[in-house]
Amino acid sequence: MIFEQRLDWNFFVIKGLICFFIISFLVISLKAEESYPNKPIEMIVGFGKGGNSDTLARSMAPYLSKLLNIPIHIQNIPGRGSASAIEAFLEKKADGYTLLCSSFSPYLAAAILRQDTSFSMKDLDFLNIQSYGYDLVAVNEKSKITSLSELLKEIKSKKKKFKFAVVENSNGYLLLGLIFEAMNISLNNIEIHKYNSGGDAKQAMAQGVVDVMIVSSNRSELIREYITPLAIHAKERQAEWDIPTVDEALIPLGIKVPDLPEYMRGFAVQKSLKHNYPLRYEKLSNAFMFLMAKKSVQRDLKKNKIGGAWTNPENSTQILNKAYRIFKKYNYLLDDK
């Protein structure tokens, strides 16, 4: 009887200790959640300095730092169309102290489909797609060509082998393939110069290295004096560019190309963060929502020609998944001919 009582007593002691440690762990975890963030956050950028993703990251970091009351350290990891940055990001602990800023469309899809990578769309949780962009088709300002239809007729006639600047695996590269496919023009009729960033492509255009560029219109106004814009690949005309849309520009040729997704830039965390640290995830998501609703932030972003949309995590994920499916459908156009 005494032995059985001791067993019962030991059982209750052990059970009590287990409960104590569980409760202590939960209390410590809750305090850690409540004190988040209490150290600097690292923001990994999927492209090099000076590009659109880098500009977005460096524009938002001071606001986020002030709101969260901690430093934001930016690390650029260019290479392989953002694949190197995403791999480095996913190796980090999913505790809310690392953010990813990148051009997710189309480069995330391109990295998954065209690079030797082990990650997928499901490994990322997209907090917000903040900036959207369109492709600009332009020729060198010294060119006598004044319309997209005129340019395509010249290419088809093979009178001149135009040098095209595109960013590797970009929407612009896909658009070029779609137009040439609709026109039954071989890509061998032109000389394609592929660049790692829009900044590099625009610099080549400004220096006269190439004759034509199809790149993101974002910050293309910086080289406006060196180009003659022909068309914008958007659903409607854009105020900053008094030129027809690609659909309008192709009407004289009797062709139409499929719609492609816009360039989409924004911020993401690791997928497991929401499950492991729900309060931290919520705090980060709410921080971006708050900043996008702040008039002073919107005013500064607009002044610097940087997008300030609040798309929210759910909608951001939906539109990026749709963009992925479209990119996958036309991925063959990027194969070396």
Residue 331 CB burial class (10 angstroms; 0-12, 13-18, ≥19):
middle
Answer yes or no: do 125 and 269 share one domain.
yes
For the chain, the domain total comes to 3
pLDDT classification of 33: cutoffs 50, 70, 90: low
Answer yes or no: do 124 and 267 share one domain.
yes
Does 288 fall in a domain? yes
At a CB cut-off of 8 Å and minimum separation 6, what does 12 contact? none
β-bridge partners, 129: 266
Give the separation between CA 186 and CA 295, rounded to whole angstroms. Answer: 49
What's the confidence (pLDDT) of residue 1?
55
Q: What does the block give as tokens for 289?
A: 């929502």
Give the separation between CA 34 and CA 279, rounded to whole angstroms. Answer: 8
pLDDT classification of 219: cutoffs 50, 70, 90: confident
Answer yes or no: do 144 and 80 share one domain.
no
Neighbours of 104 (CB within 10 A): 30
Does 312 fall in a domain? yes
Among 28-42, 161-175, 216-230, 291-305, name the one with the lowest average pLDDT: 28-42
pLDDT at 294 over 80: yes
CATH number reported for the structural domain that contains residue 119 in this entry: 3.40.190.150
Does 301 fall in a domain? yes
Percent with pLDDT over 90 in the chain: 82
Alpha helices (runs of H) in the chain, residue ranges in sequence order: 2-34, 52-68, 83-91, 104-114, 148-157, 171-183, 198-206, 246-250, 273-276, 278-293, 295-303, 313-330
pLDDT classification of 336: cutoffs 50, 70, 90: confident
Answer yes or no: do 242 and 165 share one domain.
yes
Answer yes or no: do 126 and 175 share one domain.
no
Q: What is the mean pLDDT of the chain?
A: 91
Answer yes or no: do 273 and 242 share one domain.
no
Summarize the confidence of residues 222-228 as an average pLDDT. Answer: 96
Residue 312 to residues 133, 268, 283, 290, Cα–Cα distance (Å) = 18, 11, 13, 11
Q: What is the pTM of this model?
A: 0.85
Last residue of a domain, one of 192, 226, 253: 253
Answer yes or no: do 128 and 206 share one domain.
no
At a CB cut-off of 8 Å and minimum separation 6, what does 77 contact? 44, 45, 46, 84, 85, 88
Percent with pLDDT over 70 in the chain: 90
What's the confidence (pLDDT) of residue 8?
53
Q: 232 φ, ψ to 5°?
A: -120, 135
Residue 10 CB burial class (10 angstroms; 0-12, 13-18, ≥19):
exposed
Q: Which residues constitute the domain of residue 121?
A: 36-132+263-334
CATH number reported for the structural domain that contains residue 236 in this entry: 3.40.190.10
